[in-house]
Amino acid sequence: MNPDFMRYFYTLLAFALILASIGCNQAIENSRKSQAILEMKRATDFHSYSQPEEAVVTHLNWNASVNFEDRIIRATATYDIDVSATAERILLDCVDLTIEAVTVDGESVDWSLGPEQPFIGQPLSVPVNGASKRISIQYASSPSAGALLWVEGAQPFLFTQSQAILARTWIPCQDSPGIRFTYEAHVDVPVGTMALMSATNPTVQSADGHYDFRMDQPIPSYLLALAVGNVEFRSVGPHTGVYAVPELIDAAEYEFGEMEALLVAAENLYGKYAWERYDLLVLPAAFPFGGMENPRLTFATPTIIAGDRSLVSLVAHELAHSWSGNLVTNSTWDDFWLNEGFTVYFEQRIMEAVFGREISEMLATLSYQGLVDEVDEIMDTNPDDTHLKLHLQNRNPDDGMTAIAYDKGYFFIRLIEETVGREGFDAFLKAYFTEHAFTVMDTDRFITYLKENLLNTEDRLMAVNLDAWIFGAGLPENCPEVRSERIEQVDANLTAWEANQIGTEELPWADWVYQERYRFLSNLDDSTSAVRMKELDLAWSISSTGNNEVLFAWLEQSIRSTYSPSYDRLENFLINVGRRKFLTPLYRAMIETDQKEMALAIYKQARPNYHSVATGTMDELLEIE
Ligand code: BES
Ligand code: ZN
């Protein structure tokens, strides 16, 4: 063959090969790029305007004064920022804030507020460049700021509730759980009140109403918290203590006397507590939640003060968030189950360690019943909301606060534990918290981590069925079974009592702990007559119980039985207590039993006492504009 031709042929061949390999590399590179874009897309938080790849805040210095007369916080928020070389602005979230002045590195700048969207609010755009170091925003909050509840009267009190996206109603911030920053604050409050934050806290009131705070560990904005009121502090252990108003401080000191033991149990399970101190603040009864895991200082409803320490599992829950949530944080509100499901699991483990498996299994049995009921309910209206991984774009992230994230999440994690065995699971979870401390986690990354580190055999993967749990509707068939003999006994007693086989006095009510009493009352037949309700109350004085869970179950059944002797107690309860978990079922029971007039009359009186989180839900339920 012609050598020239051969040379030509080989050159061509080599060239083709090079081209092919370039093409191939290009394809790999493209796919890698699109993978990276996908990752970025996945991490997008639809509930925040911030663009962290352009610019992020790293530290907040908050200088504020709290004015009870006009219900306004006036403040300057100064942020250290980290700006990419090409960025021209930093975006922050705001709702109803009056922005007065903005500076960048000391110079006034031309800031702007963008158009408003429901729930999300407005973007505050501040011009910066790659060399900018610090922005400062002087502003005032609105008297109707969604996070804030101002309690009037002889004992004025203010508290915030920032989760999920209400921090932006009292501080302009990058209000996305994926962005963390440290903070310090100086707050001026009326003399005679103490200010407390999710930070280092005072234990005595200052003479001049000035307070200073530091939070040296980076936290997401939803954990920013402030409370102001005439509270006192009592230590209950070397790292633990309680704050409450003078009338409740003795009761609180007793009720939460086990906090240090809970903390020690938690550390023994999943590693060192990262926040130095763990204190608890008892809030006014208007607090819309049971508890809120503000770092270093859990905010709690006074309705868990039962006099007998019986409702302390709520403290175990908020404490557990010091790992699941506060240390390893859900990347967006679509991944909320990573915060709450793990926390319910951890809560259960703390309860088991401190109080024994019989108690923790009773709690799990009650959760299971609540979960099955709620899954049924959600399946009827919006089956996608029963997936662990949620889709909350264009919706209020509050919609994700259902038993799915909490209890479907819990049973999923329990299933993994039961599949691999406790020893292996505990080692995995401890490593998970340690390796991801002070970072975010999203559902897909968690799945990858889980497959690499725990569900690393075909058998294990098959046994769990990740897809069905995380991306599927309802409760999968392999849901772990919980059994509690004591709860089964309660059910047997209930059946016998309803069939008139045993009398009211023969019920072992006096021997029952609150979980058993709650089970009995919440499973009474809707058609239980007023006569029988009276019998129960006469025998066991249920209406004067100090346990608000039991009282709540009693009141709900009273509504369903139209047992009117309970109605004064009901009205009084609804006017004083703003905890949404109690309000929703009680108002709903009135609606469902043709007593909406009564519901509206009570709500009219009660509404001014409630927090925006509660009025939001109740207005919708009662169809109020
Ligand atoms: N972090 C939640 C409260 C929350 C969730 C507030 C989502 C706003 C948006 C807190 O840890 C919690 O779960 N509280 C529960 C108590 C718990 C024992 C289940 C509550 O308040 O009912
Ligand atoms: Zn929680």
One-character DSSP codes across 2-48:
-HHHHHHHHHHHHHHHHHHHHHHHHHHHHHHHHHHHHHHHHT--TT-
3-class SS of residue 104: strand
Please return the burial class of 449, using the count of CB atoms within 10 Å of its CB with bins 0-12, 13-18 and 19+: middle
Q: How far is the CA of 340 from the centre of ligand 2 (A)?
A: 5
Side-chain-side CA neighbours of 529 within 13 Å: the count stands at 5
Q: Which atom of ligand 1 is nearest to the CA of 314?
A: 18
Q: Average pLDDT for residues 127-138, to the nearest whole number?
A: 98
Contacts 24+ apart (CB under 8 A), 565-568: 565/534, 565/537, 566/533, 567/598
Distances, alpha carbon 463 to alpha carbons 422, 466, 477, 478, 618, in Å: 16, 9, 11, 8, 41
Q: Cα–chain-centroid distance for residue 364?
A: 19
Q: Is the pLDDT of residue 273 over 70?
A: yes
Q: How far apart are CA 336 and CA 329, in angstroms?
A: 9
Q: Average pLDDT for residues 308-319, to the nearest whole number?
A: 98
H/E segment holding residue 422:
helix 422-435
Q: How far is the CA of 515 from the centre of ligand 1 (A)?
A: 20
Q: How many CB atoms lie within 10 A of CB 49?
A: 21
Q: How far apart are CA 58 and CA 132, in angstroms?
A: 13
Q: Which atom of ligand 1 is nearest to the CA of 163?
A: 8
Q: Is the pLDDT of residue 308 over 90?
A: yes
Q: How far is the CA of 321 from the centre of ligand 2 (A)?
A: 7
Q: Which atom of ligand 1 is nearest to the CA of 289?
A: 21
Q: Is the pLDDT of residue 40 over 50?
A: no
Residue nearest to atom 10 of ligand 1 (CA): 292
Ramachandran class of 124: left when φ > 0, alpha when ψ lies in -120 to 50, beta otherwise: beta
Ramachandran class of 272: left when φ > 0, alpha when ψ lies in -120 to 50, beta otherwise: beta
Q: Concatenate the DSSP letters of all residues of 489-508 into one string.
A: HHHHHHHHHHTTSS-GGGS-
Residue 4: predicted pLDDT:
56
What are 569-600's pLDDT values in tens digits? Answer: 999 999 999 999 999 999 999 999 999 999 99
Q: Is the pLDDT of residue 33 over 70?
A: no
Q: How far is the CA of 402 from the centre of ligand 2 (A)?
A: 11
Q: Is the pLDDT of residue 110 over 50?
A: yes
Q: Three-state SS string across 117-131, please?
A: ECCCEEEEEEECCCC
What are 496-506's pLDDT values in tens digits? Answer: 999 999 999 99
Distances, alpha carbon 590 to alpha carbons 42, 412, 586, 609, 615, in Å: 42, 34, 6, 20, 17
**What token pair was written down for 21?**
């390999």
Q: Is position 368 annotated as part of the catalytic site?
A: no
Q: Is position 406 annotated as part of the catalytic site?
A: yes
Answer whether 533's CB lies under 8 Å from 296's CB.
no
Taking the whole predicted model, whether its pTM rises above 0.75 is answered as yes
What are 210-250's pLDDT values in tens digits? Answer: 999 999 999 999 999 999 999 999 999 999 999 999 999 99
Residue 193: predicted pLDDT:
98
User: CA torsion sign, 376 to 378 to 381 to 385?
Assistant: negative
Q: Is the pLDDT of residue 195 over 80?
A: yes
Closest CA to 110 of 100, 102, 118, 122: 102
Q: Is the pLDDT of residue 456 over 50?
A: yes
Q: How far apart are CA 315 and CA 21, in angstroms?
A: 60
Q: How far is the CA of 437 from the centre of ligand 1 (A)?
A: 21
Q: How far is the CA of 311 from the centre of ligand 2 (A)?
A: 15
**Residues within a 6 A CB radius of ligand 1:** 163-164, 289-293, 314, 317-318, 321, 340, 401, 406, 581
Q: How far is the CA of 361 from the centre of ligand 1 (A)?
A: 21
Q: How far apart are CA 256 and CA 263, in angstroms?
A: 12
Q: Is the pLDDT of residue 5 over 60?
A: no
Query: Dihedrals φ, ψ of 187, to 5°?
Result: -125, 130
Q: For residue 305, what is the DSSP state?
A: -
Q: Which atom of ligand 1 is nearest to the CA of 398?
A: 9
Residue nearest to atom 22 of ligand 1 (CA): 290
Percent of the chain scoring above 70 in pLDDT: 93
Q: Which atom of ligand 1 is nearest to the CA of 401?
A: 7
Which residues contact residue 597 at a Cβ distance below 8 angstroms, ignoring those fewer than 6 apart?
Answer: none
Task: Report angle CA 482, 330, 166 to the nearest 5 degrees.
Answer: 110
Residue nearest to atom 3 of ligand 1 (CA): 292
Residue 152: predicted pLDDT:
87
Query: Dihedrals φ, ψ of 347, to 5°?
Result: -55, -45
Q: Three-state SS string across 522-540, please?
A: HCCCCCCCHHHHHHHHHHH
What are 246-262's pLDDT values in tens digits? Answer: 999 999 999 999 999 99
Residue nearest to atom 20 of ligand 1 (CA): 290
**What token pair was written down for 617?**
């839900």
Q: Which of 161, 289, 294 to mutate to test the pocket of ligand 1 (most atoms within 8 A of CB)?
A: 289
Closest CA to 596 of 624, 563, 555, 625: 624
* Catalytic member of 318, 361, 549, 556: 318
Binned at pLDDT 50, 70 and 90, residue 625 comes out as: confident
Q: How far apart are CA 608 and CA 615, in angstroms?
A: 9
* Catalytic member of 49, 139, 278, 406: 406
Binned at pLDDT 50, 70 and 90, residue 36 comes out as: very low
In terms of residues, how long is the chain? Answer: 625
Rounded mean pLDDT of the chain? 94
In DSSP terms, 122 is beta-bridged to: 94
Q: Is the pLDDT of residue 430 over 60?
A: yes
Q: Which atom of ligand 1 is nearest to the CA of 406?
A: 19
Q: How far is the CA of 292 from the centre of ligand 1 (A)?
A: 6
Binned at pLDDT 50, 70 and 90, residue 29 comes out as: very low
Burial 504-532 (b: 16+ CB within 10 A, else e): eeebebeebebbbbbbbbbebeeebeeeb
